[in-house]
Structure 1
């Protein structure tokens, strides 16, 4: 049912083909000249749905530092509104129900919970249920990255004020 994993070169060739054909894009998250994670936009449908699926991971040593929420926000802004992007209407994120960190990313970005997809993805040798979250182009309201940065600044300011009190 599922064959051997592709080699790195095969995987890279597939990513290049996907990008050339408008089916998907992969980006790295970089910090201080190190790759700390990856974000992808795949399963792009440029037909009547104008949708794509977002996936991401962050190296454990860098988890919890805000890389994933910012990467999702930047990707969404690009995918929805940037002239060089695919100009999608909808993005989806599917995550394992026990993945609290990924759920936190979806919530920080402002994704809407849509429910459970039964046996949605083949993970570690078996079909697994996934929670599904979505973003729509009209949810953008000034930009996801700008909104995330404003929330971070407000949070830092509130923490500073409580420490000074």
Structure 2
């Protein structure tokens, strides 16, 4: 499945993305480091290769708990949106995380990509609630949730291990039955 709006495309992450993914991650390491999840001591070793990471993501996707997407512009991968913690049953919710290369940041690509995935999850998959957690210092990511009009529901202390410590996050949500318009409309300013 591929989701598109204008020049922005969101599609499943593929093995053939390995070269582009590595290049982006290497050239964007300093840009991404303050926001990237890390493993706390004793949690094992992180995946050191794209192949290991994609295998783990595909395994979680097959189990129905995750959906890894590449963000592409003009056919070139520029970032990633990952849906994780997908819960069915009485919960019907998931969490979204995302990153983009610094060269493509600030161009409205990330809000469109997140909106495409969010609308798909709410309208097609049938989830009731989506959550995005953002470090309070991450101004660029806060602009994404603001542009999408997500509701802030609170501060989660020690929410995620990042850069060697447990970091607080502001938590935002959108509920399917309380959403006014589609997220893509909010991201693009259209009605």
Q: How does 1:62-81 map to 2 (within 5 A)?
A: 62-81=104-123
Structure 1 residue ranges without an equivalent (≥5): 155-165
Q: Match of 1:49, SS?
A: coil
Q: Which has the larger radius of gyration?
A: 1
| Contact 2:132–2:173 (8 Å) recurs in 1 | yes
Aligned match for 1:137, one of 169, 176, 181: 176
Runs of 4+, deviation exceeding 6 Å:
none
- The CA RMSD measured in Å over matched residues stands at 1.5
The structure with higher relative contact order (CA 8 Å, sep 6+) is 2
| Contact 1:54–1:93 (8 Å) recurs in 2 | yes
Q: How does 1:80-119 map to 2 (within 5 A)?
A: 80-82=122-124, 85=125, 87-119=126-158
> Residue by residue, what CA displacement relative to the aligned partner does 1:76-108 show, whole Å, maximum 9, x if unpaired?
1100112xx2x1100100111100110110010
Q: How does 1:17-32 map to 2 (within 5 A)?
A: 17-32=59-74
**What displacement does 1:110 show?**
1.1
Q: Equivalent residue for 2:11?
A: none
Structure 2 residue ranges without an equivalent (≥5): 1-41
> Residue by residue, what CA displacement relative to the aligned partner does 1:26-74 show, whole Å, maximum 9, x if unpaired?
1111012211110011001112111100000010000000111111111
| Contact 1:77–1:140 (8 Å) recurs in 2 | no
Tell me the distance in 1 between the aligned counterparts of 2:148 and 2:156.
21
Q: Match of 2:103, SS?
A: helix
**What displacement does 1:148 show?**
2.7
TM-score using structure 2 length = 0.74
Q: How many residues align?
A: 149
Q: Equivalent residue for 2:5?
A: none
Q: Equivalent residue for 2:8?
A: none
Tell me the distance in 1 between the aligned counterparts of 2:109 and 2:122.
20
Distance 1:112 1:9, change over 3 A: same
**What displacement does 1:2 show?**
2.6
